[in-house]
Amino acid sequence: MAGGNDEGNLLLVGKILRAHGNNGAVIIRSDSDLPGRFSPGGFLLYISGKGELKKVKIKAAAGEKNHLILEFEGICDRDAARQLQGCEILAKPMKVPLHEGEYWVHELIGLNVFSIEGESVGVIKDVLFGKGQEILEVEREEKCFLIPFVREFIKKIDLEERQVVVDLIDGLRS
């Protein structure tokens, strides 16, 4: 699964958590599983505290898959980095082929969820990234519940029909 909005098709790929050190570096939470998404020389966009879309070039990157330390050109001190805290990071979609059974997050959000009996279960509100697997956050009547994104529960995904068929065990639904 890969982390969905060109200003109409940018993907949410992470969030700036806080400043790191005194030279303008930031720690981010990555919601992208694509290698190279945060490579030096690449460009990202972020939504400023004023709601403006700003473009930055990655100067340096280090860290692990989900938590990275990034340096951006033009962000040179801790105060400037602090201004970015809490900003969402967006990027243009990368042209990467998916394997069978893989989906982009933005393709799943908004799909209608039905039980194998045909009963409406709700609508996918979000995809959460756990340590071992992704989890679908499904909303029904202003209540949310979670469904592990595994074959045991997810029986069919039909992007054309905009629906997912699930086999839920007792107690999984709210």
Give the structural domain span for 35.
11-91
d(CA 51, CA 100): 37
Residue appearing with tokens 């933005």: 106
DSSP-derived secondary structure for 13-26:
EEEEEEEETTTTEE
Q: How high is the pLDDT of residue 32?
A: 83
Residue 56 maps to a domain: yes
Secondary structure (3-state) at 164: strand
| Amino acid letter for position 22 | N
Residues 53 and 22 in one domain: yes
Q: How many domains does the chain have?
A: 2
SS3 content of the chain, % helix, strand, coil (to 5): 5, 45, 50
Q: How high is the pLDDT of residue 63?
A: 86
Residues 86 and 133 in one domain: no
Residues 37 and 68 in one domain: yes
Taking residue 2's Cβ as centre, other Cβ atoms within 10 Å add up to 21
CATH code (residue 82): 2.40.30.60
Cα atoms in the 13 Å half-sphere on the side-chain side of 5 = 11
Which of 65, 91, 117 lies at the terminal end of a domain, its last residue?
91
Q: Model's pTM, two decimal places?
A: 0.57
Residue 98 maps to a domain: no
Which of 34, 57, 91 lies at the terminal end of a domain, its last residue?
91
Q: How high is the pLDDT of residue 162?
A: 94
Residue 161 maps to a domain: yes
CATH code (residue 151): 2.30.30.240
Strands 53-63 and 43-47: antiparallel
Which of 46, 65, 91 lies at the terminal end of a domain, its last residue?
91
In the numeric block, which tokens belong to residue 22? 């005194």
Q: How high is the pLDDT of residue 173?
A: 57
Per-10-residue mean pLDDT of the chain, 174 residues long, equals 53 92 94 82 88 92 86 95 93 77 85 94 88 87 89 92 89 57
Q: How high is the pLDDT of residue 7?
A: 46
Taking residue 117's Cβ as centre, other Cβ atoms within 10 Å add up to 9
**The length of the chain, given as a count of residues:** 174
Residue 127 maps to a domain: yes
Residue 97 maps to a domain: no
Q: How high is the pLDDT of residue 172?
A: 59
Q: How high is the pLDDT of residue 35?
A: 66
